[in-house]
Every structure is written in structure tokens, then in C-alpha cells.
A and B are shown apart, each in its own frame.
Chain A
């Protein structure tokens, strides 16, 4: 074993342990803020594994999108709700946990048997780190052109949907009175906003 192979092996082991440990933490910790931060750890370890697999573009995308955007979004969502309450302990919770653990273990056993038992056919093309991004670019504009263009429609719709669902509309007064007659509606009224830097009301309560 050369030094380089050793470094790779050690990095793989460290990254895997980090990833599995963080993932277990995400699931088992009861404080969701900690879970969200650990999720970021899972994503970063995954990006490291992608790097080891010579997929640097995927690793960059992983860090950019998952760590930089999705995880931050999750944290914002958690802090937006910010409800620190302990859940009432459920009776017979261990039955559910046991069943979940059994199902997960069974699935894991099945999939690992499958991974070990299947004679995989390997792609013959040599993975190249340097030309990977260019190859992806060429694929985007030749044989994966249609999914690429459809992705723009998907993103457009996601943006429209995000704006329409997250934006708070202030319904004009006339419309409010008009709509209250129908049973289908529950018009949203302007709420008092809570600034970030701590509010006077919070100060008083201390």
C-alpha cells in the first residue's frame, strides 16, 4: 500500500464514520436545531466522499446546494417556528421504536446482501477528474438536453410555487368582508412582525 492509497483509505473511513455518526445524531437527538446542524455535517461528509470518488463537480454542487442553501433553509424554517417544547412521552413508544429498528435492520440486511451478491457490470470508461465538468456540459447539450430544459420549467414552477405559498398576502378590506360569507375561506390578517434582534416585549418578560 502506497502512501496515497493509505491516505485515501483513511479519508474514506473518517468520512464514513463522520457521516454515519452525524446521521444517527440527526435521527436520535430530540432537539431539532442540533439535528439540523448535524444534517449539515452529513451533507459535508457526503461531499467529501464524492471527492474521493473523483466527482468534484457533484461534490461542489452538494456543498453549494445542500449545505449552502437547503440546510440553511431548514434552519430558517426551524427558527421561524422556534417552538421549544418537550413532547409528551408516548406510552409503549419502545414498541414503535423496536419495530422501526427491525424494519430498518431488515432492509439494510437485504440491501447489503444484494450489493454483495450481485455481479455488477462496470462501466468501461475511465473516470477522469479533469474533464468531468466538460463531459457533463456536453451531455447537458446533447443526449440529456430534454431533461435539462425540462429542469428549467421545473425550477420556474418551484419558484412560482415558493413565492405563492410563502408570501403573505394582505387581502384588501373589501375582499375580506366579501369572502367571510363563504365557508371555504379563512382570510389571513396582517400579523405583528417580530424583529430579529430581540423585541421590547421579550425584554420586559426577562
Chain B
């Protein structure tokens, strides 16, 4: 293979957004080395955010690209991956906004934090489009190992150490299980690594009902479910969320989770078309368990971060409804919900960070009477929590309506009813926090709120936090009412993605086949 033909085949333009992020992280790292730690704090976060936004812009320009396969099939930058990559890049940008002050106050180095966060972003973005087993695993590990490092980043805090250790041990074993599943796929297909070819070879050799394929499916789902923190693979979530630095938790709950969903869609739809019913069944079970356990256990939490951890488990359950039903509307509802969830969850975490920076606590009871001292924070946190609960007219309401409507259309009545019931439960614990903040009498105010410092936005790193707060507040309030562009985006993404269209068409044809098979039988029996 000579130079020109290989260079043309690589189709490097598709990964331009990732290359921009990699360039940014190298720039931050080298710049920090050159100018020193104190001088670099002033500009590294802004360079990183600018890089991420440019990367989102580059994604926008790829929206209409037709030749999406690059690096000889390693990476597929189709419309589906573009939406996921955008979500991950945006979540990283908002995370950096909220982390500047936090890192400053925890006395750790900011540039390295940004470098590791950007690496995690790169891993997640590559994972969204990875179309080949080796690429999937390397990008998954890039995301995971960066997440472990971020979790333990405040190394002088024993809780952070504990969280990192737990996350590392559970994460490593789940990676091993996932890798075992991938190796079974490799073996069953006789040495193929591309997802599409794996499915073709397995179908051609007639291994579609073998126990090996089922075990591969189970192991792969176990690895993915760990990443999206679905019950029963959620045990790490509360401890890790409670112990790690809060900006990291925000990224884990949005960016890392979105990457997990991207992996789930691509891997399950492309490599397991033969076990369509089986994987949908397993995911249905996971969705039911996640919705019930996440929302019910969140009721009993006293720490804000732990409550948000369990709530994020429940939210993952809602998102899985869209994946399970597997219709056009289902996939777009899933994407829409993830987009909305990005802003409302990051907004909630920004508020938690702001409160804990000013008071040093994240107990729910300490929020009592916050309204009198800091109306802006109260407003933002209330809006985000109510949106997470699904109160109209906020963004989360429209996300949930769309999801449940798509589920109802597809005939998943049980799932939708369960989703409604658990949503009502979730509204209870979200409202509890809001009530705590708003309607308390002055004498019931908690001690930390009584000593609440006057908001001072001029400290280093407070402005970015404020910007992040305002942006997520506006997005959460308006994304529901002005949701048309988002709807167009997600619908277009599903329509323009060949793998999803093929899967939907296959499901439709199976359904019609079943109907046709039923019809002749009836006529035959009636003839007799």
C-alpha cells in the first residue's frame, strides 16, 4: 500500500473534532510546563473550553458528511456518533467551568486536571464512534483510566482515595469481563474485529443460537451496564459520587454515561442483531431495576451528592426505555433526553459545588432557608431539580413525555407505567430539597446558612462557575419550550444513521413476518 492511497483511505477528516481536543490537551500540558503553575491557571481553562467549543463546531460541519467511515473501519463518524460526541464535549466544557474554583480551593494543580479531563473526553468521543473491537477497548480504557485518576485527584482527601480505589477495582474487573465478551465475539466470528463483519460471519456460520454468543452478550452488557451505572452494576456509584471531587462526579454522571450509551447502541445494534430479543429483554430488566432501585433508595439519602448519585441511576433507567423499544422515536427520545439531562444534571451539580464551596457541606438538611441568603442559587438548584423530576414546563418534562410517548407507541406499556410511577417518586425527593430551601421560617435556618458568606463573584474561578450556572439555568428552563431545534437534531441524527435505520427496518420486517405467518395459518385452519 503506497503513501497516497493509504492516506486517502484513512479519511482523517472525520476525527477532526477529536484531533482538536487532543491538540488542546497537548497545548495545555506544554503551556503549563513552560509558564509554570501559577501563571497557567489564568488561561488554561479558557483554552480548554475554547478547544472543546471549536470541536463541537467541527462536529457541526460534519453533520452532512456522507463518507463517515475512517481509519479503514476503525471509526464511524455517523450522525448518531456526532450527537453523542457533542454531548460529551459540551459536558466536559461545563465541567471545566465549574472546576476552576473547586480545584483552586482544594489546592491541587489545575492544568493536569484539565489534561486528564480532556483525555477522558477524547476517550468518550472516540468510544461514541468506535466500530471495531480494538478501538472500542482502547477508547473505553482511555475513558476509564482517566476517570479513575480524576476520582482520586484530591489525593489528600481520604474519601477521594477510597472512591478512586473502589472505582478502580470494580472498574478493572468489569473491563476484564467486557474484554472476555469481546474475545468471545472475536473467536465466534473466526478472527473478525469489525462489528458489522462479526455479525455477518456469525450469521453465515449459523452460530446465532450458540451458548457462546449468549455469554458474549451477557458479558458485554455487564461491561456497558457498569459504565452507565445500571442496577445491579451500580454498587460503585454512591460511594464514588460521594467521595470524588464534585466536578468529576458531574462529568461521570453525564459525559461518561453518554459514552456508555453510545457504546451500548452501536455494539448491541451492530454486533448482536441475531440476539435482538435477548438483549432487549436483558436491558428491559436492567431498566426496570434501575428505575425502581435508583428512585426508591434516593428517597432515604441525607447527602446531596448521594441523592444525585441514586437519582442518576434512576435517570439511566429512563434513558434505557428509549434504547429498549428500538423504534425511530425511541432512539430520538433517548438522544433528546440525554441532551436535556446534560444541562439539568450539570446545573444541579454546579449548584451543589457552589454551596459546598461556600459552606463546606453537602448535607440536604443544611440547605434549609437558603432562599433568604442566596436567591440565585436557590432558583437555579430548584429549576434543575424540578426539571430532573419532570415538572412542566421545564426541559426534563418534555424529555420524559417524549420518552414515554415513544414507549407507549411501541407497546411497552408496562415500562412506561413503571416510568411514570417512579417519576412521581422522584418528584417527591427533588421537591423535598426545594421545600427545604424555600419555605423554611427564618428561625429554622440551618447554622451554615446563618453563617452564609456574602456572594463574592470576583474570587478566582468564580466567574466561570457563574457562567456555567447561568448557562445551564437558561438551557434547562428554555430547552423544553423552545425544543424544536433539538427535536430536529435528534430526529435527523436517527434518520441519517445507517445502522439505526437498518436495525429499525429489520425489526419492522420481523414484525410483519410474524403477522403474515399468523394470517395464513388462520386461513388454513379455517379451510379445514
Quick check: do A and B touch in the complex, using CB within 8 A? yes
Which B residues touch A114, using CB under 8 A?
A: 211-212, 215
Say whether A104 faces chain B, with CB atoms less than 8 Å apart. Answer: no
- With A121-B207, A145-B74, A153-B122 already in contact, the answer to whether A185 and B115 are too (CB < 8 A) is no
| Structural contact, B210 and A117, CB atoms closer than 8 A | yes
Q: Which of A99-116 touch B at CB < 8 Å? A: 110-111, 113-115
Known contacts A158-B145, A164-B112, A171-B107, then 13 further A-B pairs from the complex at CB < 8 Å, ordered by chain A residue? A118-B188, A120-B187, A124-B190, A142-B1, A142-B6, A143-B72, A147-B137, A150-B126, A153-B22, A153-B25, A161-B112, A164-B153, A185-B107
**Please, which residue of chain A has its CB at the minimum distance from the CB of B157?**
A186
Say whether A183 faces chain B, with CB atoms less than 8 Å apart. Answer: yes
| Structural contact, A157 and B71, CB atoms closer than 8 A | no
| Structural contact, B156 and A185, CB atoms closer than 8 A | yes
| Structural contact, B201 and A121, CB atoms closer than 8 A | yes
Say whether A68 faces chain B, with CB atoms less than 8 Å apart. Answer: no
| Structural contact, A153 and B142, CB atoms closer than 8 A | yes
A146: which of B1, B15, B187, B207 is its contact (CB, 8 Å)?
Answer: B15
Say whether A137 faces chain B, with CB atoms less than 8 Å apart. Answer: no
A143: which of B73, B115, B122, B215 is its contact (CB, 8 Å)?
Answer: B73
**Please, which residue of chain B has its CB at the minimum distance from the CB of A180?**
B107
Say whether A173 faces chain B, with CB atoms less than 8 Å apart. Answer: no
- With A147-B138, A165-B155 already in contact, the answer to whether A119 and B207 are too (CB < 8 A) is yes
| Structural contact, A147 and B74, CB atoms closer than 8 A | yes
Which B residues touch A184, using CB under 8 A?
A: 105-106, 154, 157, 360
Bound CA span A165–B137, Å? 24
- With A114-B215, A142-B1 already in contact, the answer to whether A154 and B210 are too (CB < 8 A) is no
- The number of inter-chain residue pairs (CB within 8 angstroms) is 130
* Distance in Å: Cβ of B472 to nearest Cβ of chain A: 23
User: Could you pull out 18 A-B pairs where Cβ atoms are within 8 angstroms?
Assistant: A111-B215, A114-B215, A119-B210, A121-B188, A121-B205, A145-B71, A145-B72, A146-B74, A146-B135, A147-B132, A147-B138, A147-B139, A156-B119, A157-B145, A158-B145, A160-B115, A179-B107, A186-B158
**Please, which residue of chain A has its CB at the minimum distance from the CB of B150?**
A161
Say whether A182 faces chain B, with CB atoms less than 8 Å apart. Answer: yes
Say whether B141 faces chain A, with CB atoms less than 8 Å apart. Answer: yes
Say whether A28 faces chain B, with CB atoms less than 8 Å apart. Answer: no
Say whether B54 faces chain A, with CB atoms less than 8 Å apart. Answer: no
Bound CA span A86–B487, Å? 61
| Structural contact, B72 and A142, CB atoms closer than 8 A | yes
B188: which of A111, A113, A120, A185 is its contact (CB, 8 Å)?
Answer: A120
Q: Which of B172-229 touch A at CB < 8 Å? A: 187-191, 201, 205, 207, 210-212, 215
| Structural contact, B6 and A153, CB atoms closer than 8 A | no
Show the binding face of A for B, using Cβ within 8 Å.
Answer: 110-111, 113-115, 117-125, 142-147, 150-151, 153-154, 156-158, 160-161, 164-165, 171, 175, 179, 182-188
B211: which of A118, A160, A171, A185 is its contact (CB, 8 Å)?
Answer: A118
Q: Which of B124-166 touch A at CB < 8 Å? A: 126, 132, 134-135, 137-139, 141-142, 145-146, 149, 152-158
Which B residues touch A171, using CB under 8 A?
A: 107
A145: which of B10, B122, B139, B156 is its contact (CB, 8 Å)?
Answer: B10
* Distance in Å: Cβ of B341 to nearest Cβ of chain A: 27
Chain B positions 97 through 108: 1 when the CB is less than 8 Å from some CB of chain A, otherwise 0: 000000001110
* Distance in Å: Cβ of B153 to nearest Cβ of chain A: 8
* Distance in Å: Cβ of A54 to nearest Cβ of chain B: 15
Which B residues touch A186, using CB under 8 A?
A: 156-158
Which B residues touch A113, using CB under 8 A?
A: 211
* Distance in Å: Cβ of B38 to nearest Cβ of chain A: 10
* Distance in Å: Cβ of B452 to nearest Cβ of chain A: 14
Which A residues touch B274, using CB under 8 A?
A: none
Which B residues touch A144, using CB under 8 A?
A: 74, 134
| Structural contact, A121 and B142, CB atoms closer than 8 A | no
Bound CA span A114–B493, Å? 39
| Structural contact, A117 and B211, CB atoms closer than 8 A | yes
Bound CA span A147–B141, Å? 11
Say whether B116 faces chain A, with CB atoms less than 8 Å apart. Answer: yes
- With A121-B207, A157-B142 already in contact, the answer to whether A187 and B75 are too (CB < 8 A) is no
Which B residues touch A188, using CB under 8 A?
A: 156
| Structural contact, A187 and B156, CB atoms closer than 8 A | yes
**Please, which residue of chain B has its CB at the minimum distance from the CB of A144?**
B134
Bound CA span A91–B187, Å? 44
A-B CB proximity, top 3 nearest: A183-B360, A118-B212, A123-B191
- With A111-B215, A122-B190, A144-B74 already in contact, the answer to whether A165 and B360 are too (CB < 8 A) is no
Bound CA span A143–B197, Å? 14
Which A residues touch B201, using CB under 8 A?
A: 121
Bound CA span A79–B496, Å? 57
Bound CA span A121–B154, Å? 49
